[in-house]
Each structure stands twice: as C-alpha cells, then as structure tokens.
C-alpha cells in the first residue's frame, strides 16, 4: 500500500510539473488569449448593418477600416504605412461601357455576341468611322520580325491575327525556336505598338472567339475593378475590339481570300505582308469610369535578432456591400477571418510587450479589394512595405466561422490549401502545430491540383505564392449563405473560430521563431 501511495504521489508530481511547464510555455500562454468573447465582439461590429457590407470604396469599407485602425493602435503597435500610418491606401478604378456600338456596312453588330472589347484597355472616345481596313498580319514589331516596317498607318484601322507566325516545323519567326514570345501571351504589346505607329483602332481576329466570349461576358457583367491607372489607355494603347471569323468576313467581304493568302505567305516565308481593303465600319466606345479608394490595414510586430525577415498573416475585410435594400453583412466572408487575425495580432503584441515577442517580424495585414479580384494583396506585392525577398511565408485566413455540408455535425475541421505547394516545411510546421496544440481535422480536399473549385487561386495568399513565397490558406468551405444577405453573425461558430485562430497563432509562432527560415523546396512557382 505504501509503495502504491509513493507511486501515486510521484505520478501526481510529474503531472503537476508537466502542467506547470505547459502553462509557462509562452506559446500556449499567448495562444490562450485568443478567445470567443473577443472574436464575438469584433465580428458583431464588423458585420453590423451600419458597415453596409464593407464594399470596397464605400463608406462602409471606410468605417470598417477606421475600426480596425482603432483596435490596432490599442495594441500599442507602431504605424508602418506611409508617413507611419496604419494603412496602405489603394486607388481602384471601376470601368464599364456606357455605350458600345459597331456597325458593318450599315448593319449593327451585337456586343458580347458578334464582337467584344475590354474597357480597361480602351480609351473613352466619340464615334469613329473607317472606310478602309489594313490587314497587318499579326501586329508585331520586334527585332526578328515586324509587321510595321515601311507602313504609314496614322489614323488607320488595322486588322490583325491573334498570336504570332510560325513555319511548318512549328518554329516561331520571333524567337527562332518552337517556343512563342511574349507577343503571344501579352496583347498589350500589340496595342502599344499600334499606338506608337499612329493606329486608331485594332481589330483582332480571335480564333478562339466563342471560348473567350464567355470570359468576356463575365468580366463585362461582374463588379470587378483594377488598380488605379499606371498607364492611361489613351496614352499607351490604340483602341481595340475582338471579332469572330464570321464578323471578320463581313468586314473584309470579297477581300477575305486575299487576307488568307497573305497570312499563308507570312507563315511560309516569315516576311510581313499587308493588304489594304475598302470597308464601311462605324464604332462608338464610351466608358463610365469611377475612381474608388481602398485601404490595406497594417498591424506590425517587430522581431528581435531576425527582424529583417517577415511573416505575413492576411485576411480580407471587404465584402460585397448592399444590393437594393439588402445588406450583405459578410459575417463568415470574411468578418470571421478578419476577427481571427485581429486576435492573433493581439496575442503577438502581448508577447512583444512582455519581452517574449517573435524573433522574426510579423505583419498582420487586413486587405481590401479581395472581392474585386484579390486587388489589395496584389497591390501589396507590387508595392511591398518590406522586401519580398525577406518575406518567409504568408498565412491567409478566409472564412473560418461556419460548417459546410460535408462536415455537418462535425465542426472540428478546417480545409488547408497550399501548404505543400512550395514548401514541405510549411506543411510539416502546420501539421505539427495542429497535432500538438489544436487537434483539428485538417482536410486537404481543396488542395488537390485538379480541384475543380480552384480555391488555391481564389484568395489573397495566391498573390504571395505566385511570387514564390510559401503560403497556406485556412478555409471552412462554402455554405448556403455564401455571398447572400443571410451570412450573419448569429450563424457563426465561435468555438470553431477560436480553435482555428490558435492554430494560426501556433503556425505563425513557429515560422517566426525557428532558427532557419523555411525553404522553398517544391518549386519557385505555384
């Protein structure tokens, strides 16, 4: 009996010692500051009706940004934006066709049916008429091949083929190899060359017209924007439209066969050839352009001995705004991710204040413009506040407060996307953090390269991954309230958010404190 008592006391001592050690572990201590009460408080404010759905460029988005700024300042963190602010301002441009019309031989053609054009690559202009079209091959002007040599095209309308010429062996005349040049992949090169040569309008014969028409319709009808003008279309591009083979035949009439022969000669001999063709074209392209302002909000925790290296934790705080009288509050998308990142930032700030902060610096960035095309994160990687080459990894949190149909009745899960795409070490770190601290079910369904949903390419981490920075994306999957006015706070599982927030913390803590930065060992591109 005595021996049993001694054994029990020894075991108890060991357990208490282990418990004490565990409670003294700063990683656990600060992770435990991430709690459901604070998550609920942040989300209730961010997803309230007076935020009006936080659409980029609206008063609701501005109001949300000011709330985030107030919270970050309250953490006692320094401003690292321009002039020591807590934000990175972004100019967004929204462009729509006000009026777009095309007539051929007096017959009206239908936009997004017979032809299409992108407003972002076109200047706003009044009606133009063309009584002649110049077939100009592929519209290329390069050292090895140029359709513009000897041409005088001021004020002209040209018709060109998409792509670039190659011989019967598949060798491109621009490169001298079987690999095409950037003249195939970047249409702006052709539009710039046309502008430099005084061309007024470029008509592009698109061999994949029907396939590309679907994409053009989506772009024309959705609410996406782009960054502010770095190059104004009227200064750098000739106006352009894309046409089908049938529409091109109407423009060229009986001269269509001459164009076909000219193209064949170009491909056979690698020598440019043009054809001047009488035509009757009327074109009207008038745009509605609106400039909107967005902000990336910044919470920066400076590291110690490895402070020049950086871990970035992101979540987008914008949503889709309001439609008529309906407010799309975006509680899960992405008030949940925003609230989670705020809590993780606070945990790191508390560690820093106590002298137990990370070795590497950590930037918590709440981005704008995700719903408009990942624009806030795109702006950051194009205008980084810290060198991208010093950025170790990105952790992205986008929708972490709900349960999808697959996991109904089992909220203890999270989809993990991208962790092994560039770095096996990032994958292992997240796995180990979960195994040791949070014990979530890590579901990699959407990480599959053949995933038809392509979620890997659809949130802000992708802009980092595209530049060779290892990134991991935490996501709860979609549900019936996704992008609906019914995505409200009352449906959020805060216990789930808390656990995911702690996993984010533990993963970020390891990334920011390990001796060696993680390696890119899978590939430099996703």
The pLDDT tens digits for 276-309 are 999 999 999 998 888 888 999 999 999 999 999 9
* CA dist., res. 55 & res. 38, Å (int): 24
* CA dist., res. 479 & res. 497, Å (int): 16
227 and 265 part of one domain: yes
- Domain edge (last residue) among 289, 315, 349: 289
Is the confidence at residue 18, as pLDDT, over 90?
A: no
Is residue 479, in this structure, part of any structural domain at all? yes
Is residue 525, in this structure, part of any structural domain at all? no
Q: What is the pLDDT of residue 217?
A: 86
159 and 186 part of one domain: yes
224 and 349 part of one domain: no
Rg (CA), the chain: 28
Is residue 521, in this structure, part of any structural domain at all? no
pTM: 0.74
Q: What is the pLDDT of residue 526?
A: 46
428 and 352 part of one domain: yes
236 and 350 part of one domain: no
Is residue 311, in this structure, part of any structural domain at all? yes
Is the confidence at residue 525, as pLDDT, over 60?
A: no
Q: Label residue 120 by pLDDT band (50, 70, 90).
A: confident
241 and 313 part of one domain: no
* CA dist., res. 468 & res. 464, Å (int): 7
Is residue 9, in this structure, part of any structural domain at all? no
Residue 310 is part of which domain span? 27-78+302-513
- Domain edge (last residue) among 289, 322, 350: 289
Q: Label residue 19 by pLDDT band (50, 70, 90).
A: very low
Q: What is the pLDDT of residue 487?
A: 98
Is the confidence at residue 496, as pLDDT, over 90?
A: yes
Tokens of 377: 């994160």
CA within 13 Å, CB half, 288:
5
Main-chain dihedrals φ then ψ at residue 516, nearest 5 degrees:
-110, 140
Model pLDDT for residues 24-70, shown as the tens digit of each residue? 789 999 999 999 999 999 999 999 999 999 999 999 999 999 999 99
- Domain edge (last residue) among 254, 289, 324: 289
Tokens of 478: 């979609």
Q: Label residue 404 by pLDDT band (50, 70, 90).
A: very high
391 and 477 part of one domain: yes
Q: Name the least confident of 16-30, 68-82, 464-478, 479-493.
A: 16-30
Q: What is the pLDDT of residue 228?
A: 63
Mean pLDDT, residues 344-348 taken together = 98
348 and 404 part of one domain: yes
Is residue 483, in this structure, part of any structural domain at all? yes
Mean pLDDT, residues 345-373 taken together = 96
Residues facing residue 364 across a β-bridge: 299, 313
Three-state SS string over 25-83 comes to CHHHHHHCCCCHHHHHHHHHHHCCHHHHHHECCCHHHHHHHHHHHHHHHHCCCCCCCHH
Is the confidence at residue 220, as pLDDT, over 90?
A: no
Name the more confident of 14 and 501. Answer: 501
* Residue closest to 433 by CA, chosen among 353, 512, 496: 512
CATH of the domain at 128: 3.50.30.30
CATH of the domain at 423: 3.40.630.10
Q: What is the pLDDT of residue 20?
A: 45
Distance of CA 220 to the CA centre of its chain: 18
Name the percent of the chain in helix, strand, coil, to the closest 5: 40, 25, 35
Mean of per-residue pLDDT scores for the chain: 92
72 and 108 part of one domain: no
100 and 71 part of one domain: no
Total domain count, the chain: 2
Q: Label residue 96 by pLDDT band (50, 70, 90).
A: confident
Q: What is the pLDDT of residue 21?
A: 43
Rounded to the nearest 10 degrees, what angle do helices 59-74 and 36-46 cross at? Answer: 150
* CA dist., res. 240 & res. 203, Å (int): 6
Q: Name the least confident of 168-172, 194-198, 229-233.
A: 229-233
Tokens of 515: 């001796």
Mean pLDDT, residues 432-447 taken together = 98
* CA dist., res. 124 & res. 286, Å (int): 5
Sequence-ordered list of residues with C-beta below 8 angstroms from that of 85, at least 6 positions apart, any chain: 79
Q: What is the pLDDT of residue 92?
A: 83
Is residue 11, in this structure, part of any structural domain at all? no
Place of tokens 């690698």: 270
CA within 13 Å, CB half, 228:
9
Model pLDDT for residues 124-156, shown as the tens digit of each residue? 999 999 999 999 999 999 999 999 999 999 999
Classify 203 as helix, strand or coil. Answer: strand
Percent of the chain at pLDDT above 90? 85
Q: Name the least confident of 189-193, 216-220, 370-374.
A: 216-220
Mean pLDDT, residues 442-450 taken together = 96
Is residue 36, in this structure, part of any structural domain at all? yes
Is the confidence at residue 451, as pLDDT, over 70?
A: yes
263 and 314 part of one domain: no
160 and 111 part of one domain: yes
Q: Label residue 94 by pLDDT band (50, 70, 90).
A: confident
């Amino acid at each position: 009996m005595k021996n049993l008592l001694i054994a029990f006391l020894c075991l108890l001592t060991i357990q208490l010692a282990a418990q004490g050690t565990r409670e003294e572990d700063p990683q656990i201590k600060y992770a435990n500051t991430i709690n459901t009460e604070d998550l609920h408080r942040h989300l209730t404010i961010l997803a309230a009706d007076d935020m009006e759905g936080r659409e980029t460029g609206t008063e609701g988005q501005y109001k949300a940004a000011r709330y985030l700024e107030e919270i970050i300042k309250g953490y006692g963190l320094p401003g690292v934006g321009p002039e020591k602010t807590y934000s990175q301002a972004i100019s967004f441009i929204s462009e729509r066709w006000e009026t777009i019309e095309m007539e051929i031989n007096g017959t009206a053609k239908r936009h997004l049916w017979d032809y299409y054009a992108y407003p972002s690559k076109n200047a706003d202009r009044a009606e133009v008429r063309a009584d002649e079209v110049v077939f100009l091959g592929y519209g290329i002007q390069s050292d090895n091949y140029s359709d513009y040599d000897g041409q005088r095209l001021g004020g002209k309308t040209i018709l060109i083929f998409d792509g670039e010429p190659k011989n019967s062996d598949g060798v491109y005349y621009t490169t001298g190899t079987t690999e095409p040049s950037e003249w195939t992949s970047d249409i702006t090169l052709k539009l710039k060359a046309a502008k430099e040569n005084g061309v007024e309008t470029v008509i592009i014969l698109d061999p994949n017209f029907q396939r590309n028409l679907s994409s053009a319709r989506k772009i024309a009808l959705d609410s996406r924007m782009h960054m502010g003008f770095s190059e104004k279309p009227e200064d750098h591009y000739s106006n352009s439209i894309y046409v089908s083979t049938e529409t091109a035949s109407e423009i060229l009439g009986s001269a269509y066969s001459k164009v076909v022969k000219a193209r064949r000669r170009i491909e056979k001999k690698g020598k440019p050839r043009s054809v001047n063709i009488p035509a009757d074209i009327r074109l009207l392209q008038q745009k509605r352009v609106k400039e909107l302002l967005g902000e990336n909000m910044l919470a920066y925790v400076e590291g110690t001995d490895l402070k020049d290296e950086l871990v970035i934790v992101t979540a987008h705080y914008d949503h889709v705004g309001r439609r008529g009288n309906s407010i799309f509050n975006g509680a899960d998308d992405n008030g949940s991710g925003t609230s989670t990142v705020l809590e993780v930032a606070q945990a790191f700030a508390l560690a820093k204040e106590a002298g137990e902060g990370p070795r590497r610096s950590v930037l918590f960035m709440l981005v704008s413009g995700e719903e408009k095309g990942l624009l806030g994160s795109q702006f950051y990687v194009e205008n980084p506040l810290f060198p991208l080459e010093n950025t170790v990894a990105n952790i992205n949190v986008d929708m972490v407060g709900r349960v999808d149909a697959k996991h109904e009745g089992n909220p203890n899960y999270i989809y993990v996307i991208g962790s092994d795409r560039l770095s096996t070490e990032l994958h292992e770190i997240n796995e180990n953090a979960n195994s040791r601290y949070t014990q979530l079910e890590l579901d990699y369904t959407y990480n599959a390269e053949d995933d038809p949903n392509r979620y890997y390419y659809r949130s802000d981490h992708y802009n980092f991954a595209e530049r060779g920075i290892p990134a991991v994306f935490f996501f709860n999957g979609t549900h019936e309230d996704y992008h609906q006015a019914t995505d409200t706070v009352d449906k959020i599982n805060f216990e789930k958010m808390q656990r995911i927030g702690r996993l984010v913390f533990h993963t970020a803590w390891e990334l920011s404190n390990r001796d060696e930065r993680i390696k890119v060992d899978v590939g430099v591109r996703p």
